[in-house]
Amino acid sequence: MSRIYPSLDPDAVRRHLSALRTFNEWEERNPMRLGPAEAIAAIGFLYDVLPPESRERPIDTSGIQKMHRALSVLGREAPA
């Protein structure tokens, strides 16, 4: 059987999945609690740490629009 990503090491993937499971377990025991002001401040901080060239680049929302269109059909009944 050929592999789609020949350079992808199956053991590395297993280690990564194990690490993600460990984090998910920790996250369940330690939920983040942010109020609205703290959430806005965190967003502002993330913007501040972006490199200047990233802040000047035009925003492309086409991927988000495509996903919205794809998800908009979920839950609808199929046409008869």
Residue 37 located in a structural domain: yes
Q: What is the mean pLDDT of residues 28-55?
A: 91
Residue 67 located in a structural domain: no
Q: How many residues does the chain have?
A: 80
Question: What share of the chain in percent tops pLDDT 70?
Answer: 92
**Cβ-contact 6, 14 below 8 angstroms:** no
d(CA 55, CA 68): 24
Count of domains forming the chain: 1
Tell me what pLDDT residue 25 has.
96
**Is residue 6 over pLDDT 60?**
yes
Tell me what pLDDT residue 34 has.
87
| Structure-derived torsion over alpha carbons of residues 40, 46, 47, 53, reported in degrees to the nearest 10 | -170
Tell me phi and psi for residue 48, to 5 degrees.
-65, -30
Residue type, 34: L
Residue 15 located in a structural domain: yes
**Cβ-contact 56, 48 below 8 angstroms:** no
Residue 43 located in a structural domain: yes
**Average per-residue pLDDT in the chain?**
88
